Amino acid sequence: MKTKIYIAKKIPSHVEEYIGKYCDYEKYEGEDAAGYEELLSKLHDKEGVMLSGTKVDKNLLECAPLLKVVSNISVGYNNFDIGAMKEKGVMGTNTPGVLNDTVADLIFALILSAARKIVEMDSYVREGKWISTDAEKMFGKDVHHSTLGIIGMGRIGQDVAKRARFGFDMDVLYYNRKRKAEVEEKLGVKYADLNTLLRQSDFVLVMTSLTDETYHMIDEEQFNLMKRDAIFINVSRGATVNEKALIKALEEKKISGAGLDVYEKEPIDMDNPLIKMPNVVLTPHIGSATKKTRNDMAMLAAQNLVKALCGEIPPNIVPELKA
């Protein structure tokens, strides 16, 4: 008899077919993803669930007495109540690796767009303001041969560093909990403490996971250390940065611009001051949003789920839930 699972988000048909070989499944029929209340009503007889970002807490687990595995279709898993999952013996998996290059591409799109004022200049042309080609208002900031500081040298950070070093001849500094000598040797990057990185970098990229330790790790004190012409990029999690401090730094011209894919509140409120700042490039949390990458993430999540329910050890158990 096949195990019962619930698919809480629309997935590609070939991934659904793969799951159907091993599991009896029920799926959410909406276009986006099942909400928390929907999950509460669906998991009472399910041993597995595939979802993306929906909160998995003690209350949900109480309503799912048979649940063995939660497969997140994402790299992040701050939606997991790790303590509650440990207590209930529920496995949690995620989908690292498959999205690294795609996210690194977006990061460089933000760096280039913010540095060369692409969004601002697009409006400049469309609004008929293009009169002179040498006005200083058009001047941007060179990316090539500048210094990029990466906070969080994980797999995505390394792919960004590779693009920076070998594509744009940039100097790369990095700050990480643990120094990575092999990465330094392979990519020619240099380790720096956080304050040194902030002072010396032309572009500052936050690419760290969200934990109690990294919550608001970039605050007013950190922005005060940055160069006045520095550009700040965040593609990690919104709460790694104190957004009020970022807005203040931009308003007071302590930094020159920003490129953001993540925010403290998502979707962003339309009265957020960032919306009206022409020197800030905003994207709606689309780091992994290409068709191929999202399909690959869904398949990896499905494979994690199936392996766990078949009694195998899936390759991507989140670290805090490993035995």
List the one residue out of 280, 137, 266, 150 whose CA is nearest residue 203: 150
DSSP 321: G
Catalytic residue among 221, 266, 312, 320: 266
List the one residue out of 264, 321, 316, 299 whose CA is nearest residue 93: 316
d(CA 119, CA 289): 20
- Region at 10 (left for phi over 0; alpha for psi -120 to 50; beta for the rest): beta
Catalytic residue among 285, 294, 312, 320: 285
Q: Which helix (H) or strand (E) holds 48?
A: strand 48-51
Residue 19 corresponds to which tokens in the numbers above? Answer: 């799951």
Q: Which helix (H) or strand (E) holds 73?
A: none
**Residue 179 is a catalytic residue:** no
d(CA 116, CA 303): 42
d(CA 56, CA 257): 36
Catalytic residue among 47, 237, 243, 294: 237
Are the C-beta atoms of 228 and 252 separated by less than 8 Å?
no
**Residue 216 is a catalytic residue:** no
How many CB atoms sit inside 10 A of residue 251's CB? 10
**Residue 144 is a catalytic residue:** no
Residues sharing a CB contact under 8 Å with residue 207, sequence separation 6 or more, in sequence order: 107, 150, 151, 152, 153, 154, 156, 157, 160, 235, 236
Q: Which residues belong to the active site?
A: 237, 266, 285
